[in-house]
Amino acid sequence: MPDVVDRSTRSRMMGTIKGRDTHPELALRKYLHARGYRFRLHRKDLPGSPDLVLPRHHLVIFVHGCFWHRHTGCYYATTPGTRASFWEAKFEANVRRDREACENLKQLGWRVLVVWECGFKHCRDQLPDIPELIHAVNQYQEWPSCPPRLRPA
Please give the Cα distance from 7 to 133 (Å, whole number). 42
- The verdict on residue 59 lying in a domain is yes
Residue 11 clears pLDDT 90, i.e. is over it? no
CA neighbor of 91 nearest in space, from 74, 102, 79: 79
Peptide bond into 144 cis (omega under 30): yes
Contact 111, 61 (CB under 8 A): no
Residue 151 clears pLDDT 70, i.e. is over it? no
- State residue 2 phi and psi, 5-degree precision: -70, 155
pLDDT in tens, 23-52: 889 989 999 999 999 999 999 999 999 999
pLDDT in tens, 92-118: 999 999 999 999 999 999 999 999 998
- The verdict on residue 104 lying in a domain is yes
Phi-psi region of 70 (alpha: psi -120 to 50; beta: other; left: phi over 0): left
pLDDT on residue 62: 96
Which position has the higher pLDDT, 151 or 23? 23
- The verdict on residue 150 lying in a domain is no
Please give the Cα distance from 130 to 52 (Å, whole number). 13
- The verdict on residue 9 lying in a domain is no
Element (H or E) spanning 63, and its range?
strand 59-64
pLDDT on residue 111: 96
Alpha-carbon Rg for the chain in angstroms = 16
pLDDT on residue 132: 84
Residue 10 clears pLDDT 70, i.e. is over it? no
Q: Are strands 111-116 and 59-64 parallel, antiparallel or unpaired?
A: parallel
Residue 18 clears pLDDT 90, i.e. is over it? no
pLDDT on residue 14: 67
CA neighbor of 37 nearest in space, from 145, 144, 131: 131
- The verdict on residue 7 lying in a domain is no
- The verdict on residue 153 lying in a domain is no
pLDDT on residue 131: 81
- The verdict on residue 2 lying in a domain is no
Domain with residue 75: its CATH number is 3.40.960.10
DSSP bridge pairs for 135: none
- The verdict on residue 138 lying in a domain is yes
Domain that holds residue 83: 19-143
Q: How many domains does the chain have?
A: 1
Mean pLDDT of the chain: 86
Share of the chain above pLDDT 70, in %: 85
Contact 26, 51 (CB under 8 A): no
pLDDT on residue 153: 44
CA neighbor of 47 nearest in space, from 85, 83, 101: 101
